[in-house]
Structure 1
Amino acid sequence: MPKEILVVDDQPGIRLLLTDILTSEGYQVSLASTGKEAIDKINKHTYDLIILDYKLPIIDGKEVLEILERDKKEISVILMSGMAETIKQEVEKIKMVRRIVAKPFNIKDFCAHVEEILL
């Protein structure tokens, strides 16, 4: 049974790119374009991994993480950000964040992170 990944990003191009990459790697991919949509999906379905953009409309990535932590969700997260170094300190205490990936990212390295986390 393929591992299930939720990709949360407000940029359609990033969602499309990650869907193409991850489905070609054999993963089942679901999408959300806002933090609120992500929380709704996570409350209805179990995912093996969440790929979460830090900067989102309505509910941002940090708030999504805080909600998941409050609700005691046990999900691994790859956090993406154009300001990866800046946010590192803010989120390093959140155990579910397994990687912080800077945008733009190297696709090969990104796939390696996903594979390592899901093994």
Structure 2
Amino acid sequence: MKSKLLIVDDQPGIRLLLTDIFESEGYLVEAAKTGKEAVQKVENNVFDLIMLDYKLPIIDGYQFIKQMEADYMQVPVIVMSGLVENIDIEIKESYLVKKIVAKPFNVQDICDTVSTILNSGTDVS
């Protein structure tokens, strides 16, 4: 069965790029442009992995992860950010966050990271 990914980013170019890449790799992909839209998608769908921009309108990445934890979700998350060093300590310690990726990212590295997380279920350093 194909793994289902949710890509959450307010930048259309990033959403399109990641959607194209992962669909070509054989994944089922949905995308959201806001944290609020992502919450709605998570409530109505089952995802195997979420790629989440940290800086989002309405509900940011931190609030989204806290909401998922409050709802006892078990979906692994890759957090993407242009300012990795500014990400809150709390988000780094979340059991959902498996990797924090700096933007701009290397496409091959992000593909390898997704594959590793989905195949092993463990954190990727």
TM-score class normalised by the smaller sequence: over 0.9
Q: Counterpart in 2 of 1:57?
A: 57
Residue type at the aligned position of 2:50: I
Q: Distance in 1 between matches of 2:42 and 2:91?
A: 20
Q: Counterpart in 1 of 2:94?
A: 94
Q: Counterpart in 2 of 1:42?
A: 42
Q: CA RMSD in A?
A: 0.8
Matched, 1:3 2:3: yes
4+ residue stretches of structure 1 with deviation over 6 A? Answer: none
Give per-residue Cα distances to partners, 1:53-100, cap 9 Å, x unaligned.
Answer: 000000001000000000100100000000112216241210100000
Q: Distance in 2 between matches of 1:102 and 1:90?
A: 17
State the identity as a percent: 54
Q: Is the 8 A contact 1:88 1:100 kept in 2?
A: no
Return 5+ residue gaps in structure 1 as ranges: none
Give per-residue Cα distances to partners, 1:22-74, cap 9 Å, x unaligned.
Answer: 01111000010000000001001110000000000000010000000001001
Q: Counterpart in 1 of 2:123?
A: none
Q: Counterpart in 2 of 1:80?
A: 80
Return 5+ residue gaps in structure 2 as ranges: 120-125
Output the TM-score relative to the length of structure 2: 0.93
Output the TM-score relative to the length of structure 1: 0.97
Q: Distance in 1 between matches of 2:37 and 2:24?
A: 24
